[in-house]
Structure 1
């Protein structure tokens, strides 16, 4: 089967991990964008499988679209659907994003969804709320299959066994990365920092990439950088500026936090939230999208044009009282892999 993309961690974790469970689905490796005859392994963008000519020539039974079409026009996606129809291959579409977190304006993504959701032979999504929205907008019934773990199971086991707890410090993380369009850190930072400072031993750790927090960076945000510099002498804030983290660096970082605040003002689902749950870090999720439906989380009111500071303050204090809220169990995550593999295999067979 052609899964777009095959090497993304979400897709890789749709296969059973139990060696006694036979894997009925064989996913083709991602073709290298520089040479479609080669496997790309981790390099999959732009996805060659979205080329109608590749579809016509490809040897596969089912086409499952997950990610990677951000830059594709609705006309391009219509051509993809047409190529699948010509060759008699069913289209499965997992709706991860009902609002693209990288697009300030939602119009393009809405038009892309208007092509894909009605055309799909089967629609999947991750939460009941997203499924309900799909039903309202397109009259389609989406099968709800939860997000699998993100952190490797072995790392989860090690962190569970070795994670050091501190009674003297309560560390809350705000990770601004390279400032996606969906992020609004300056909107929430004053209330967030004030609430953390009010907790004995409270520390707010703010991580950001150099391109955002260092002058001359491609996405330099002078207002955000200035705010952090002005607040640093007041204590209670730990600013870390760095390049992109490797996976291992990211797991180590997340496992040092008691709670992680998602600073999103729009969006739908989050792999970051799943990684936090894998490592026992409490998630403080906004009310926009369906982040809080993915698993146990604390919630605060944050929408595109709305932010309630009191709800964030309450969530931070609640996080102090409920450590490791929603921490994923390794055995349950392992079993979930088996269940997800079986559910996808059943879905594919039903279309053939």
Structure 2
């Protein structure tokens, strides 16, 4: 059994971790921390967990985190890097759902997250937790920086066209790497459980708006990941939007084809690249995936389109931002780190309607 602790168990990603880990056959939950809610039974805050999670929230200072095999951080940025040295010294592995171990450039981290990075030596060894790209490295890692929700959808959507093997087979780049566009929409749970005006019912309901148009902190993470996939620089325009639903991400990706790319069968390319991937479903040609088709599951669904008479490739990607975009991907990564079947505890079907 894997002894697991969760730091920051009161937010949406925290409760999603609890939902998934409570059903995992190889996990023993050791501790769930919250300074503010110390002593409160978890099931009192989240009645959906009654009968499945009998722990109470504990203060991080007294929680038996050093006795765990793995600790998840479902916390604000900056918390994981403050506690990582002590936990690693105790032999505990770490999966951070925040941004502390995502961006390899500490100056870039400081620019977007407005704090200095306190342990760049640990950042240097951290592995970016996107299994479809870094599966082998994840298996050997002590520290995982889990991708953000938007970056997961965008990177998986463009992975096949930037893969060096596909580029070599076509005799050159398939798409123009400097003009990529990611037009992405997310439900309000992506903003977290904290009280903010823009997520109030009267503000978010019956409304649809863009934000972060001139710059969003997921943009450098996406560019870093796509550049690592391609082996050369990639630039993009990333525009997120808030839509009046609770959970889900829909990414519409646009890329201009090169002469080499114009000759490629992209449906076949995507089907072959993701063949055998347990959580990526390449849909039949002409499909338009819906966010409800992945709700509460770890599945990503992708559809590829080439509009007639256009030199554009359009890729549609849907995921649940709290599952494959956060906690579910964390459990998938945990399974790899501990040599378990990758889909263990993650076979839940999407919820409809």
TM-score normalised by the chain length of structure 2: 0.37
Larger Rg: 1
Identify the structure with the greater helix proportion. 1
When normalised by structure 1's length, the TM-score is 0.37
